[in-house]
Structure 1
Amino acid sequence: MNNAPISAGARRRRPVFLLIAGVALVAALVVSGWFVVAHDRPDGKGGDVAAVPSIFPVPQHARAEAGGPVPLNGHVYVVAPEGTDQASVDAVRDLIAGAGGTAEVVTTLSTPRQGASAIRVGTDSDAALKALRLDGDPEIRSALERPEGYAVATGTIEGIPTAVLAGRDNDGVFHGVQTLRQLLKDGALAAVRISDWPLTETRGVIEGFYGTPWSHQARLDVIEFAGRQKMNTYIYSPKDDPLLREKWRDLYSNQELGELRELIDAAAANHLRFSYALSPGIDVCYSRASDLDDAVAKLESLYSLGVRSFVIPLDDIATKVQCAEDLREFGSGQANLAKAQASFLNDINEKFISGKDGVLPLETVPTFYNGSRSTPYKRELGTALNPGIVVQWTGEEVVSHRITLDSAKTAGDSYGRPGSPRDIVLWDNYPVNDYSQDRLFLAPVIGRDADLYKTVRGIVTNPMIEPYLSLPAIFNYADLSWNGPAYHPDESMNAALSLLAGPDPEVQAAVRAFVDLNQDWQDDELTPSAPELRRDIDQFWQDYDAGRVPSGGLKARAVLLQRLPELLPRMAQPGFAQDATAWVAASAEYGHGVEDALVMLEATKRGDTASAAAARKSAEGALTTAAAKTQPTLERGVVTPVLGGSELKSFIEQALQRVPAP
């Protein structure tokens, strides 16, 4: 997608599985204090949730139960009838092992041993719920009637403490396991009753940026992370994969097919659908039979690997038909471009999609993919395109700071037919940074209406070129798309950072100091640049100008920034620090420069010109080093990492201006 803030010639849009073991994640949350009061639905139906751990995404209903916790640090039966989702069973076994217990998987359980406990898992849990007298609970019944819904309840069955995890389907069972991870504390599951389901049908990640594509390992790790956050979609659409765009007609080699198969299998194991996006628009001739055959052959090669979801993006291409055959067939102009594209997409839908078992509706990204108002292109596309084909849309802008329910509803009408709105999936261009590769976007996801689920079919986030630095925003989008009315940006981001940082308080402080430096997003007034740093800077100047001894907050922050290269690699997710190497080094240099500037100002006040001069020289050197070009990019060479709105640089420069040069 072409992004308005950059030149017309520039392009935009935006490893071992995830290295955080499940129980380590739980431990990080426990130690860091994130087991606090969970939120119930905004309707207020939730009872007493004071003892319910925080769960992300926030469940539709969660309440504490009167009984005791279910121990997992002894002998634990995993009661999983034949046909129970194997990935869920394996995850439960891992959870028990991490709690210090021994798992015994059985299909039925009638005479459990004394002192044991049980977790009953599966889609057929009527008997277990009846044993807990919950088979008629309206909230649980509601959850188990909805796709991907699940319920968790605890109590005593067959004389032993038992947790029941009931799923509407296998996806629901898997989502329930992710909730169990967060209920674990001190070797036991909290006594709770949870009924939950997603409000948005499609929830996931689209690797859709320009720039260096993610590594194979990074893709595997992001897929696992997204699955643990109860997302269900990964769209493979890296703009600089030549076999998706420039060489879209070419088939994959055996080695490439092997890597794709591993991604597809990983997605299935984590209950995500792998969606393949073929982008033929650069040189396709919409009316040429051979181009249609080439597109279908490419899709067939992915179908044979197990792909059951397909997208044909037609974004970031010429805004008119390009070949003589199309001009003769459809004519020129944007409305006729829509007619040509609709014909091509309809043919793919008829020739490939409609004849395949288990294939989801075809999706497309229109050439004009943003804005909600009607245009000749959108009207023609809406009229000519098969009504079952889904449109991906980015909001009013390419990078939209606000996305409202009304805007999404209008877009559905504009891309649809009169009285029959088009299904829309929101391709959300945050935190993608391909148009600004010297910056990182680590602010919480904001500005999206909580009730978008009422209009859009799905929400997918387009992440940064840096996969592991994108995990906090992916965590936010998982919360927003699962239960928008209960999504609170700051709470969600704090939980994400605790999860990724791990339990070490020093590491957590370092992560938050680094994230604070990277809040700025297109000068958005709701994401001010480096707010915590700005507070310390403002306080310092207030104290300094009033003749008071400075509070010390700025100096402490400067010292912490200097330690980032030491502390961030100790995170539970080390990929975060690896992705951030250039920005971390610049942060540390600025930390040195700020501390030198403080020494210079203090020495000047007491008349120590020699010390002030030495500190000035050191501060100036830090500015020079921090401004070095150290971050490689695919097409723009090596760039200087920018931190927020340059507050660190501005502070040092302001301090230098206040002290006359020797």
Structure 2
Amino acid sequence: METRLTLLFATAVCLCACSGSPSGAGDVRDAEDSVAGDVLPRDSFDAASLCPTDVPLSERVPLLPQPFAVYRWGEPVALNGTRLEVIGPGEDAAAELDALAEAAGLRQGGNGEGDVAVRIQLHDEADWAALQTVCSLDAGVIPGAYFLDVEVKGTTLVVHLLAGEETGRFYGLKTLRQVMGAGLAGLPDVRPGREERGGGGQDATESSPASGRSVRIFDRPAIAMRGLIEGFYGTPWGPKARLDMVALAGELRLSHYLYAPKAAPLINTAWMLPFEQDDLAHFEALAEAGRRHHVRICLEMHPSWLFHYSSDEDMAVLLGKFEAAVAQGIDCLALAYDDVSDKLIPPDDQAFADYTAAQADFVPRLGEALRAAHPDVALVYVPVEYYTNHPRAATAWPVFAAALPDYWEIAWTGREIGNTAISLADAEEAAGMMQRKPLLGDNYPVSDDANKTGVLFLGPLVGRSPDLLQGLSGIAFNAMPLPYSSLPAVATAADYSWNPQRYVPAESMRSASRLLGGKEGADALYTLAMANRCAMLEGSAAPELAEAVAELWESIEAKDAPDAAALALREQFFVPYRSVQDGLASEGVLPGLAAELVPWTSKLTAYGKAGELALDLLLEQAGGKVTAPGKVQDLADQAEALEALLPKPTGKIMDEFLDRVLLELEGK
């Protein structure tokens, strides 16, 4: 039966003073499709009724990012044929509510019998303040805190969402979307059974119904700046992909995006040339997308060639480039000298004692000019000495600390350019020399050119201490040239940066895989991600696979029966590998992600098939059977073909395993 959607908005004044139907032409959207009798009256607000009475759950729940405190997490209830009603000051949340309704399969039309109505009450700031006071909840001062209470009452899913500002409501609705089993917003919904709007296809509720559950969540971010950096060496993202990534950053509760690709000439070697009109139009589109998705857009200038610190003309050119970006709505600016030569060119070599002195003179003057014109603009400085163990960091950082006003953030990547681990002590050491908390630009999951190296970093963020954020002014993660392929790792990084105390890498990757892969693709995406990890961080691209392979060889070398070790290798790795390609071809996978990953999914699937054949032949040999020469040759052909392919899922583990199996079969 066709379902019905009625979205009703009352003004905040009316909602605070009255109940019943809102009045005024501007208070009801889609008024021609609704009737006054559909309006649910606003409950008088009793803050005490929402106060948590239990301690937060100790286990994680399947949400990303993991909320600050989850007090209730019930069993899912199917919401087929639901009707959605919204009450409260929701004009700023209209787009999110529309997206939630569509993703949940809610449609305008007849009211079907037995419907489970979903009622969302968006509370105002006064209710939010009352809740904090009555329930002794500390929301802190960082934007984005919210309280979400969802309860199944009879046939109605009753939702209370409280927040102190628009960003908190935005984040709360994102969490509600996951609670209801809906997919990502911001991009076309491709859950199984979903047709494009207006396509006349089968209603999604018939094949992939949304669900709801009773939950109670109090949530707040651990740090204000949680960013995504496009700062790699390699082909920059295309305009559409970049806009998609801004939308997805909002989905993941990331607060900032930095435009800084090293291969974009006009912000790097061609810094002296004006932006093209297409660039300016794209910056405007980015700024608009950022506002819509609650992501602050930052632009970096990286004058890496022929720059004169003593030149008023060069200063004016750089200011002009920044001003052009600000005119398009960008209000976060970065001046970066990472990986730039520290040799001064004439006349700077006569004007300054050294490179540090030149920057200590130039950067504050640039900041003064920008802040005089734009007092609220955010400024970030990336020195040549951007990591602790740089030979000059200990001498240069105190100079910059003395020269730069507090409104300058100073970026830092850790003790090294790329780091196995970063701790609070590392951050505090840097802060002591910078005289301010550093802004961590984490070089994970960056891999500069996967299409040339075959290396992707899809695995979860590891090695960052739970208390690290206490020593930072912000944290941002440097993505890969393949934008959508960056998302599995970035999603876990977003999880960590929102709530590091509850972060568990493997469980976070499970949540990220569900979010990005949908119900049908989640297992395949998880399997692929865990076979494409960063060896620098974890010692291997697939540590568990390496351990399982080692156990197999140990049993063979010890003359023990290898059956148990072979079975574990088959069931835990090769069988899942074999299904990766089909799993990531399902309709539930995020658009763009599956397409980028095809070379890696196809090779890992082939590794699964070759691995199973290799185990069959090894077990035949161990059992005293004669292996058929044709099968051995088939395995040799597969191994040779796979080794020749560029993508490197599992690193060298599978190639070396297949090579050794062939040697064993040959008796060598």
Same fold, TM exceeding 0.5? yes
1:266 shift after superposition: 1.4
Aligned amino acid, residue 151 of structure 1: F
Q: Is the 8 A contact 1:57 1:479 kept in 2?
A: yes
1:85 shift after superposition: 5.6
Q: Are residues 145 and 188 of structure 1, via their aligned partners in 2, closer, same or farther at CA, if it must alter by over 3 Å?
A: farther
Alignment match, 1:430: 444
Q: If the length of structure 2 is used for normalisation, what is the TM-score?
A: 0.78
Q: Is the 8 A contact 1:395 1:403 kept in 2?
A: yes
1:618 shift after superposition: 2.1
Alignment of 1:593 with 2:607, yes or no, is no
1:394 shift after superposition: 0.1
Alignment of 1:287 with 2:310, yes or no, is yes
Q: Is the 8 A contact 1:48 1:63 kept in 2?
A: yes
Alignment match, 2:36: none
Q: If the length of structure 1 is used for normalisation, what is the TM-score?
A: 0.79
1:558 shift after superposition: 3.6
Structure 1 vs Structure 2 CA RMSD: 3.4
Alignment match, 1:406: 425
Unaligned ranges ≥5, structure 2: 1-51, 110-114, 182-208
1:606 shift after superposition: 6.8
Q: Within 1, Cα distance between the matches of 2:152 and 2:584?
A: 44
Provide, for residues 313-356 of structure 1, a one-character-per-residue CA deviation record: whole Å limited to 9, x for no partner: 111111232x212122212xxxx312211222112211123321
Unaligned ranges ≥5, structure 1: 1-43, 105-113, 416-420, 630-639
Aligned amino acid, residue 122 of structure 2: V
1:607 shift after superposition: 7.0
Q: Is the 8 A contact 1:93 1:103 kept in 2?
A: no
Match of 1:397 among 416, 426, 437: 416
Provide, for residues 205-259 of structure 1, a one-character-per-residue CA deviation record: whole Å limited to 9, x for no partner: 0011001212222222222221111111000001111111011122222223222
Provide, for residues 435-458 of structure 1, a one-character-per-residue CA deviation record: whole Å limited to 9, x for no partner: 773312222211112112222111
Alignment match, 1:227: 250
Alignment of 1:580 with 2:597, yes or no, is yes
SS at structure 1 position matched to 2:495: helix
SS at structure 2 position matched to 1:369: coil
Say which is worse superposed, 483-492 or 69-78, in terms of deviation.
Answer: 69-78
Provide, for residues 356-381 of structure 1, a one-character-per-residue CA deviation record: whole Å limited to 9, x for no partner: 15322x10111010016952222222
Alignment of 1:95 with 2:100, yes or no, is yes
Q: Within 2, Cα distance between the matches of 1:52 and 1:446?
A: 17
1:312 shift after superposition: 0.6
1:297 shift after superposition: 0.7
Q: Is the 8 A contact 2:523 2:583 kept in 1?
A: no
1:68 shift after superposition: 12
Q: Within 2, Cα distance between the matches of 1:193 and 1:184?
A: 13
Say which is worse superposed, 53-62 or 345-354, in terms of deviation.
Answer: 53-62
Please give the residue correspondences for 1:605-644 in structure 2 after superposition, counting only pairs within 5 Å. 612-628=628-644, 640-644=646-650
Please give the residue correspondences for 1:306-325 in structure 2 after superposition, counting only pairs within 5 Å. 306-321=329-344, 323-325=345-347
Q: Are residues 253 and 409 of structure 1, via their aligned partners in 2, closer, same or farther at CA, if it must alter by over 3 Å?
A: same
Alignment match, 2:660: 654
1:554 shift after superposition: 3.6
Q: Is the 8 A contact 1:501 1:572 kept in 2?
A: yes
Q: Are residues 306 and 70 of structure 1, via their aligned partners in 2, closer, same or farther at CA, if it must alter by over 3 Å?
A: farther
Q: Within 2, Cα distance between the matches of 1:52 and 1:552?
A: 31
Please give the residue correspondences for 1:223-372 in structure 2 after superposition, counting only pairs within 5 Å. 223-321=246-344, 323-331=345-353, 336-360=354-378, 362-371=379-388
Alignment of 1:167 with 2:163, yes or no, is yes
Q: Is the 8 A contact 2:81 2:116 kept in 1?
A: no
Q: Within 1, Cα distance between the matches of 2:74 and 2:299?
A: 47
Alignment of 1:138 with 2:135, yes or no, is yes
Q: Is the 8 A contact 2:462 2:505 kept in 1?
A: yes
Provide, for residues 581-617 of structure 1, a one-character-per-residue CA deviation record: whole Å limited to 9, x for no partner: 33333334433433443344355557776x5322232
Q: Within 2, Cα distance between the matches of 1:592 and 1:156?
A: 46
Match of 2:235 among 202, 212, 235: 212
Q: Is the 8 A contact 2:57 2:69 kept in 1?
A: no
Q: Is the 8 A contact 1:569 1:577 kept in 2?
A: yes
Match of 2:85 among 59, 69, 77: 77
Q: Within 2, Cα distance between the matches of 1:452 and 1:45?
A: 30
Q: Within 2, Cα distance between the matches of 1:558 and 1:135?
A: 51
Q: Are residues 66 and 264 of structure 1, via their aligned partners in 2, closer, same or farther at CA, if it must alter by over 3 Å?
A: closer
Aligned amino acid, residue 47 of structure 1: V
Q: Is the 8 A contact 2:488 2:529 kept in 1?
A: no
Q: Is the 8 A contact 1:53 1:182 kept in 2?
A: no
Q: Within 1, Cα distance between the matches of 2:254 and 2:333?
A: 18
Q: Are residues 655 and 102 of structure 1, via their aligned partners in 2, closer, same or farther at CA, if it must alter by over 3 Å?
A: closer
Q: Within 2, Cα distance between the matches of 1:517 and 1:67?
A: 32
Alignment of 1:493 with 2:505, yes or no, is no
Q: Report % sequence identity.
A: 27
1:52 shift after superposition: 9.6
1:549 shift after superposition: 4.2
Q: Is the 8 A contact 2:227 2:254 kept in 1?
A: yes
1:503 shift after superposition: 1.2
Q: Within 2, Cα distance between the matches of 1:135 and 1:535?
A: 49
Q: Within 1, Cα distance between the matches of 2:119 and 2:459?
A: 41
Alignment match, 2:119: 118
Q: Within 2, Cα distance between the matches of 1:278 and 1:380?
A: 22
Provide, for residues 154-196 of structure 1, a one-character-per-residue CA deviation record: whole Å limited to 9, x for no partner: 5799x98642222222111111111111222675643333222
SS at structure 1 position matched to 2:265: coil
Q: Are residues 574 and 564 of structure 1, via their aligned partners in 2, closer, same or farther at CA, if it must alter by over 3 Å?
A: farther
Say which is worse superposed, 52-61 or 218-227, in terms of deviation.
Answer: 52-61
SS at structure 1 position matched to 2:535: coil
Q: Within 1, Cα distance between the matches of 2:73 and 2:214?
A: 5
Q: Is the 8 A contact 2:76 2:212 kept in 1?
A: no
